[in-house]
Amino acid sequence: MKQTKKVLVIALALAMAAAAFGGCSSGSGSEASKEASSASSAQTEASGSEELTDGDRIIAAAKEGKVGNWGLGNEYEILALLTKYEQEPKYLSQSFDMDGFDDGSITLASAMTYNELGLVKNSYEGGYGYGENIGIIDMNNEGVAMLEDNLFCTKEFAKANPNTVKAFVYASMQGWKYACEHPDEAAQIVYEAGSSVSSDHQAYMASEVKKLVETDTKGAAVTEYGKMDEEAMQQTLDLAKKYISLDDKTAADKLQTLTLDDIRDTSFLSSEKDFGTPEKTDVKIQLKWLPQCQFMGYYVAKAKGYYDEVGLNVDIISGGGDIGETTAVNNGTVDFGVTWVSNLISADAGGMDLVEVAQVFQRSGLVLVYKK
C-alpha cells in the first residue's frame, strides 16, 4: 500500500512538472530538428538558383514576413527600404541578440555594422562565427540612409550656456579625432571604463565606428569631425517626415513643418578653441546605448583629459533603458545626449525643444544581413 502510494506520488509529480514545463518548450526537440532540415533545404535552394539580387532578397523576405528590426525608433530606414521595393512596411521585432537570424526565424536581420554584424561574422565570445558566409544590404547604397549618432542638448540649455556647449563639442570632437586615429587604444579605454563587451568585440567596434565617423553616405572621406552635412541631414529629415507615424495629431502636423533649422545649430561646432569660460562646468551626457566603442570619442576625451583642458567635469551615463536620451535631456536630468537624428526629430515633433550641435556619424551604420 505504502509502496504504491509512493510510486503514485512520484508519477504524479513527474506528470505535473512535465505539464508545466512541456507547455513552456513544447517539443523543442522534434520541431527543432524539423526546422534544421527545412533550413538546410532552403540553403540548397538558394545556392541552386545562383545570384539573387538584393532586391529579390528583400522582396522574398518581406513576403514571408521575415524582415527583422528592433523597432522602438530604429525602424524608419527599414520601412523606407520596404516601401522602396513596394512591400508592406512591416517587420518582426528582433531581440537584441542575433539568435533569430541564426535559427532562421528572421532571414533579413537588422544589424549595426559596428555591433551585431561583428557578432554574426566573428567567432570571439558571443559571436556566431559566420565569417564570409553572409551578405549585407547597406542602407547607404540603397539611398535610404538616415543619419544616426549625434550630439544634442535643449535649445534652452544651448542659449543659456553657449560656452559650455562649445567647449563640450570641441573637447568631444578632439576625443573622436584621437579615437579614430588610435582605434585600438580607444577600444582599451572604453573597455576599462566599465564596458562589459569583450575586448575583442570592442576592438572590432572601434574599427567599424571609425569608418562611420570618417566616411559620408556616398563613401567620400570626411575630415571635419562632427560636421552636419546639409544633404544627408535633409535626406534624413525627408525620410523621417515620410516614415515616422505619430498618433498624436498635433505632433504629426508639427513633424511635417519641421525644417533643418529647427533641429540643428551649426554655430557651436568649431575646430578652433574660440570660446570663453564655460557657464556650467559640471555636465552629464547620456549615451544612446550601453557603454561601448560606439561612443568611444566621449570616453577618450574624458580619459585623455580633453574635458579637463576646457574646464569641464563630465559624467558619462550609459543608456539602453526605457528612459530615452531625449527624455533625460529634456527633463534636465542630463545636459547632453547622443541619439539618432530621427529620434530627435520625433521628439521635437512631440513638443520637446532639442537641438543637434554636432553630427558624429556621417553615414548610416544600419545594414540588413542575410545568410549566403
Partner 1 sequence: MRKLKCILTSKPFVTLCWIILLIVIWEIFASVVAQTKRTPENVMPHLSGIIESVFSDKKINGSQTVLEMVLENAAATLSRAGIGYLIGIVLGFVLALLMSLSGVIEKIAFPYLMLIQLIPILGMAPIINAITGDIAVSRIVIAAILTFYPVATNTIAGFKAIEPAKHELMYSYAANKFQIYTKTMIPFCIPYFFTGLKISAPMAITASILVDTLQGGIGLGCLLSQSLKGAMTRYVFWDIVFFSALIGILSFYLMGVIENLLCRYKRAGGSGKKE
Partner 2 sequence: MKKTKLGRNRERIETIVYPVMFGILIMVLWQTGLLHKLLHTDDYILPYPDKIINIITDNSDKIMVNVWASVEVALCGLLLGSVIGYLIAIIASAFPTYGAGGLTIVSAFNAIPIVALAPVIINWTKDVSTVAEERSMVAKILVVTVTSMAAMSVNAYRGLTELPQFSDDLMKTYAAGRLTEFVKLRLPNSLPYIFTALRVSVPGSVIGALVSEYFAEYIIGVGRQIRENILIAQYATAWAYIIVACLIGILMYVLLMIVEAIFLRKRR
Site residues, partner 1 (CB under 8 A): 13-14, 17-18, 21, 25, 28-29, 32-33, 36, 95-99, 102-103, 116, 119, 125-126, 128, 191-198, 286-287, 290-292, 317-324, 327-328, 331-333
Nearer Cβ to partner 2, position 19 or 221? 19
Query: Which three cell numbers, joined as nine digits, stand for 122?
Result: 566573428
| Least separation in angstroms between CB 235 and partner 1 | 29
| Binding status of residue 258 toward partner 2 by CB under 8 A | no
Taking the complex as a whole, how short is the minimal distance between the CB of residue 250 and partner 2, in angstroms? Answer: 8
Q: Is 320 in the site for partner 2 (CB under 8 A)?
A: no
- Residue 13 makes contact with partner 2 by CB under 8 A: yes
Contact 356, 228 (CB under 8 A): yes
Q: Applying CB under 8 A, which part among 135-143, 171-179, 220-228, 349-357 lies near partner 2?
A: 349-357
Contact of residue 173 among partner 1, partner 2, none (CB under 5-8 Å per partner type):
none
Q: Tell me: does residue 1 bind partner 2 (CB under 8 A).
A: no
Residues 153-182: b if buried by 16+ CB within 10 A, e if exposed: bbeebbeebbbbbbbbbbbbbbbbbbbbeb
> Cell 559640471 belongs to which residue?
282
Q: Which is nearer to partner 1, 120 or 171 (CB)?
A: 120
Residue 150 vs residues 3, 113, 117: alpha-carbon distances, Å: 72, 17, 21
CB of 104 to partner 1, least distance (A): 11
Q: Choosing among partner 2, partner 1, none, which partner's interface includes residue 36 (Cβ < 5 to 8 Å by kind)? A: partner 1
Q: Is 126 one of the binding residues for partner 2 (CB under 8 A)? A: no
Minimum gap (Å) between residue 91 Cβ and partner 2: 8
Residue 12 binds which entry of partner 2, partner 1, none, CB below 5-8 Å type-dependent: partner 2
123 part of the interface to partner 2, by CB under 8 A: no
Total number of residues binding partner 2 (CB under 8 A)?
48
In 3D space, the residue among 167, 157, 160, 154 whose CA is nearest the CA of residue 270 turns out to be 167
Rg from Cα positions in the chain? 24
Q: Contact between 314 and partner 2 (CB under 8 A)?
A: no
22 binds partner 2 (CB under 8 A): no
* Among partner 2, partner 1, none, partner that 221 touches (CB below 5 to 8 angstroms by kind): none
- 18 binds partner 2, rule: CB under 8 A: no
Which residues are at the interface with partner 2 (CB under 8 A)?
Answer: 9, 12-13, 16, 19-20, 23-28, 31-32, 35, 65, 71-73, 91-95, 99-100, 103, 105, 244, 246-251, 322-324, 326-327, 330-331, 343, 346-347, 350-352
